[in-house]
Chains A and B, each alone.
Chain A
Amino acid sequence: MRIVVPIKQVPDTAKVKLDPETGTMIRSEADAVTNPLDLYALEAALRLKETYGGKITVLSMGPKSCFRMLKEALAMGCDEAFLLSDKAFAGADTWATSYTLATAIRKSLEYDLVLTGERATDGDTGQVGPGIAAWLDIPVATYVSRIRTFDGKRFEVARLTEEGYQWVSIPTPCVLTVVKEIAIPRLPTLKGILRARSQEIPTKTKESFPFQVEYLGLKGSPTRVVKIETPQIARQGKKIVVKNEEDLTMAATEFLRFLEERNLY
């Protein structure tokens, strides 16, 4: 099975602190990691490879600092990786990003399956996975929480929806975007880290593939960010400290009053 996993580098939210005044994230440039939700796609790919054999190609679009993240994917057991890095790609929205990734996939790889995380934890859109499927004109199943069978031509997968699990049969080639339930991501092994160290990760630019340059980056993006605001998250809430039985009764009464006043009970 030939699997492609596009991944994204995001700020490491585990390391950031909350600014007590503004409620915004304080972060430094260095704290960038693999999008945590992409690790589930990598794990799903590795398990499929273990069962059915094949090859896993990882790619990303972003600055050179993405090499570290791609090395980690190789150390987990992926076979090859490449980075799409060019000033022309910068500022892309999800439309232009999915175009760029899909074009690189179509022009350089034979594939049965494209696996992605549900969404990236920074942009939080979840639009690139389905977008890649649309560009490649292949079917997509999103929010996949289980891959039950693969008969060589079709997968049976469960999609986690508001109503429960929708089971679908989907033929290759296809895009699956996976949720956390799919599997617990493994850590890179020492052997993997050593192997990845000597592996080369080629950089591809806008010249590497026959891109329509007017579809790339900020220029190619149909959407424009026109305003950024940092909302104040601190709310001036009432706080009751329970020290004895009396406080306890008061707390419960106040709690119910709070709900009642808002027609919530």
Chain B
Amino acid sequence: METSPHQVWTLAEQTGGKLKPISFELLHWGRTLADKLRTPLASIVIGSGVEDEEFHKLIAHGADEVYSLQDPRLSSFVCETYARILCSLIQSHRPAVFLGGATTTGRTLLPYVAVKVHTGLTADCTGLDIEEGTGNLLQTRPAIGGNIMATIKTPNHRPQMATVRPRSRKPLCPDLSRRGRIHRIPIDDQMIDPRVQVLGVERVETDGTVLDSAEKVVAGGKGLRKGENFTLIQGLAQDLGAAVGASREAVDRGWISYPHQVGLSGRTISPRVYIAVGISGSIQHLAGIKSSETIVAINSDPTAPIFQVADFGIVGDLFQVIPVIRRHLQERKEKQEHGCG
């Protein structure tokens, strides 16, 4: 008898042998689904030099099994090779659900794999559940610039695949008493696609935090009036330990580089707090921030659309407001440093 598709799988991501936060966030989603389906949860780690300690972290965060595929040739993401490995794993183990992060890796690799294994894939999900009765995966995602939420099913193909927006769920608290199995799968030359070669990675200064996975984002827009005023945004971001974002207007004026752009033609992000400074909030911009947990707006125009979506707003001149906020932050920091806070 043919075994029926069963396990829930998540794709771990690593850089330099260390697992990225998305790996653990996916396990939280995966754990919920696996519990509802009463099936094991497995995490797939493709990379180089990832040590056992990292696999144990995956288990502590909810994985029952870890499939490890390690080789120096797998250290940096190459779609064709990673896809070859995943397709062969999927064909031999037939998972019911396969989740990846809606990251540059996941959003490249999963569509490639979905075509190869002939199954459906839903992009950038912010909600996942199991349909009662059928056991089908219900995949919810924002569409048309976040103006609608669509729920999507893959009824007749397996695995049911989805990419999941980073930060859409926090990792579970690690439970060090959890036990799991680690499968080390040897890599042979057949699994390596020689066509694309990685030449190197040029790290970009990202003001300490990367936008996509940042918990806090401070973003600046047209209201800053001049490029050099962007230092106000960078300063506040630094004080708060936040990443720096920008509206399209600010990027188009050359005040800051494109990787910082938030909105329909930039990044779609879900930080715990998004602080919009001098950003009026066009539909395109709002589309990129709607799934933020909280939104703070600082703008001199009380009719700016950004206030409609803000949980907290300051109607005022940003050139007055930001320095005062920074001064308050500085005072608190000094108090704490002197131990009398």
Binding site for B on A (CB under 8 A): 11, 13-14, 16, 18, 20, 23-25, 36-37, 93-95, 98-99, 121-131, 133-135, 139-143, 145, 156, 158-171, 179-181, 221-231, 233-235, 237-242, 247-249, 251-256, 258-259, 262, 264-265
- B118-172 at interface with A (beta carbon < 8 Å): 118-124, 138, 142-157
Contacting residues, chain B, for A140 (C-beta < 8 A) = 79-80, 108, 112
CB < 8 Å neighbour of B258 from A180, A233, A239? A180
Would B311 and A168 count as touching, CB distance under 8 A?
no
Q: Is the interface of A mostly helix, strand, loop or mixed?
A: mixed
Would A94 and B111 count as touching, CB distance under 8 A?
yes
Contacting residues, chain B, for A20 (C-beta < 8 A) = 308
Q: Chain B: interface residue count, which band? A: 35 or more
- B261-310 at interface with A (beta carbon < 8 Å): 261, 264-266, 268, 272-273, 283-284, 286-287, 290, 294-297, 302, 305, 307-310
Complex formed: what's the CA distance from A130 to B121 in Å? 12
Shortest distance from the beta carbon of B48 to any chain A beta carbon, whole Å: 15
Complex formed: what's the CA distance from A53 to B122 in Å? 38
Complex formed: what's the CA distance from A124 to B113 in Å? 19
Contacting residues, chain A, for B197 (C-beta < 8 A) = 168-169
Known: A165-B201, A170-B195, A249-B324. A133 touches B112 (CB 8 A): yes
CB < 8 Å neighbour of B115 from A134, A161, A221? A134
Is B185 part of the contact surface with A, judged by Cβ < 8 Å?
no
Would B314 and A240 count as touching, CB distance under 8 A?
yes
Would A168 and B321 count as touching, CB distance under 8 A?
no
Contacting residues, chain B, for A226 (C-beta < 8 A) = 138, 151-153
Nearest-neighbor residue (CB-CB) of A231 within chain B:
B149
Would B313 and A238 count as touching, CB distance under 8 A?
yes
Complex formed: what's the CA distance from A124 to B291 in Å? 15
Would B105 and A256 count as touching, CB distance under 8 A?
no
Would B273 and A262 count as touching, CB distance under 8 A?
yes
Shortest distance from the beta carbon of B282 to any chain A beta carbon, whole Å: 9
Would B272 and A142 count as touching, CB distance under 8 A?
no
Nearest-neighbor residue (CB-CB) of A180 within chain B:
B258
Known: A13-B145, A13-B264, A223-B121. A256 touches B325 (CB 8 A): yes
Contacting residues, chain A, for B283 (C-beta < 8 A) = 13, 16, 18, 25
Known: A130-B112, A233-B290, A262-B273. A161 touches B313 (CB 8 A): no
Would A241 and B316 count as touching, CB distance under 8 A?
yes
Would B313 and A240 count as touching, CB distance under 8 A?
yes
Complex formed: what's the CA distance from A239 to B290 in Å? 19
Would B199 and A167 count as touching, CB distance under 8 A?
yes
Shortest distance from the beta carbon of B204 to any chain A beta carbon, whole Å: 4
Q: Is the interface of B mostly helix, strand, loop or mixed?
A: mixed
CB < 8 Å neighbour of B150 from A16, A121, A227? A227
Contacting residues, chain A, for B118 (C-beta < 8 A) = 95, 222
Contacting residues, chain A, for B20 (C-beta < 8 A) = 162
Shortest distance from the beta carbon of B157 to any chain A beta carbon, whole Å: 4
Would B200 and A162 count as touching, CB distance under 8 A?
no
Nearest-neighbor residue (CB-CB) of B258 within chain A:
A181
Would A166 and B143 count as touching, CB distance under 8 A?
no
Would B145 and A25 count as touching, CB distance under 8 A?
yes
Shortest distance from the beta carbon of B306 to any chain A beta carbon, whole Å: 10
Contacting residues, chain A, for B80 (C-beta < 8 A) = 139-140
CB < 8 Å neighbour of B325 from A139, A179, A224, A255? A255
Contacting residues, chain B, for A37 (C-beta < 8 A) = 265
Complex formed: what's the CA distance from A227 to B325 in Å? 44
Stretch of B49-57, B88-96, B210-218 contacting A (4+ beta carbons < 8 Å): B210-218
Would B265 and A160 count as touching, CB distance under 8 A?
no
CB < 8 Å neighbour of A166 from B77, B114, B206, B257? B77
Would A223 and B309 count as touching, CB distance under 8 A?
no
Contacting residues, chain B, for A170 (C-beta < 8 A) = 195-196
Shortest distance from the beta carbon of B160 to any chain A beta carbon, whole Å: 9
Is B328 part of the contact surface with A, judged by Cβ < 8 Å?
yes
Would B273 and A264 count as touching, CB distance under 8 A?
yes
Complex formed: what's the CA distance from A36 to B248 in Å? 13
Contacting residues, chain A, for B108 (C-beta < 8 A) = 130, 140, 142-143
Complex formed: what's the CA distance from A124 to B144 in Å? 7
Contacting residues, chain A, for B112 (C-beta < 8 A) = 130-131, 133-134, 140
Is B4 part of the contact surface with A, judged by Cβ < 8 Å?
no
